[in-house]
């Protein structure tokens, strides 16, 4: 069956300016949803072609935190600077 995953967070109640554009919290959720859908569709296409896979990276620019999500052996892992956390 398809793996289940959950992404939690908040975008606050006020619009935010990102890259010169003003986004409402609802628009940010829609953009994130579209990005995650693209990521899984692109991984599927590349897996079928046996092409190099794309990497899923999250950046918390406010706190200077960054995560890259990927496979380690057969276990999902989350990488953070100076540490690896198995989920």
pLDDT value of position 15? 92
Note if the pTM is more than 0.75. no
pLDDT value of position 70? 64
pLDDT value of position 49? 92
Question: From first to last of its 87 residues, what are the pLDDT tens digits of the chain?
Answer: 566 666 677 778 899 888 899 999 999 888 888 888 888 888 889 889 988 888 888 787 778 888 887 665 444 445 444 444 443
Cα separations in angstroms, 73 against 7, 38, 54, 70: 22, 24, 17, 10
Q: Encoding tokens for residue 5?
A: 């995953």
The single-letter DSSP state of residue 72 is E
Q: Cβ of 16: how many Cβ atoms within 10 Å? A: 13
């Amino acid at each position: 069956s398809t793996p289940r995953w959950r992404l939690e967070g908040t975008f606050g109640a006020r619009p935010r300016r990102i890259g010169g554009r003003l986004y409402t919290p609802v628009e940010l959720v829609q953009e994130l949803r579209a990005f995650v859908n693209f990521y899984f569709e692109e991984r599927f296409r590349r897996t079928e072609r046996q092409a190099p896979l794309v990497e899923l990276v999250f950046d918390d620019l406010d706190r200077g935190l960054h995560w890259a999500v990927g496979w380690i052996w057969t276990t999902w892992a989350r990488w953070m600077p100076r540490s690896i956390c198995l989920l």
